[in-house]
Homo-oligomer: A and B are copies of this chain.
Amino acid sequence: MKTQQGNNLSPFGNQMENILQIVIVYSIITLTLETLPDLTLGQRHFFEISEIVCVSIFSVEYLFRLFKSNNKLKFVFSFMGVIDLISILPFYLNLGSGSRALRIIRLFRIFRLLKLARYNKAISRFQQAFTSVKEELVLFFLASFFLIYLVSVGIYYFENEAQPQAFQSIVHSFWWSVVTLTTVGYGDVYPITIGGKIFTFFVLMIGVGIITIPAGLIATAMMKTRNEDK
């Protein structure tokens, strides 16, 4: 696997790897702060310059990795190779322009977070636990989707006439179903008819469990993986 290989046969020394990790985190923080309103001109300049520095470092890193890899084409199309490119590309595409559409491209810099996958053992362990209950998770994802669909049809049937705006169609009813079954319950849409409330009662009694089961599955799987490690 590329990730694994990147850890062991890294073309950089340990020191360098740590510095790169810090640069990634730093660039994510500036990405976040850049979106703050009411920045002074000085602050904007600072963020622009720090962005140029970060991209320069990532570009050198990309070229160095490309240069060091035996199979150059394989690297370019490998998962981490693509991520490395996506992390710097928005900057080069964006040069000199400042329109809204282009500013949104900047958000793609978030992909730099995925560069951390190269360094982070914890994430790969997380992936392992996910993989071990993958079948069950897919099953529950499907079951949840199925349930949400059925509930949407049901609530559409009960509430469409009373609240034609919020429950315009089965597609619109999806929003209520998701917000209710995950127990978020913003309160922007809720049933007002007697039928809709009784329907919601049964849906909640049966459905809430289904959506929260995957969490229990992963928790049990992680404890088991942990016991086997020891």
Contacts and interface: CB of A to CB of B under 8 A. Distances in A.
A220 B216 contact: yes
Interface of A is mostly: helix
B208 A182 contact: yes
A142 B209 CA distance: 15
A222 B136 CA distance: 8
B212 A212 contact: yes
A131 to B, nearest CB: 14
A141 B182 CA distance: 19
Contacts of A36: 168-169, 171
Interface extent on A, as a size class?
Answer: 35 or more
Contacts of A107: 153, 156-157
Contacts of A96: none
Given A35-B169, A171-B35, A209 B218 contact: yes
A213 interface: yes
Closest 6 CB pairs of A and B: A216-B219, A184-B185, A187-B187, A209-B215, A35-B169, A186-B187
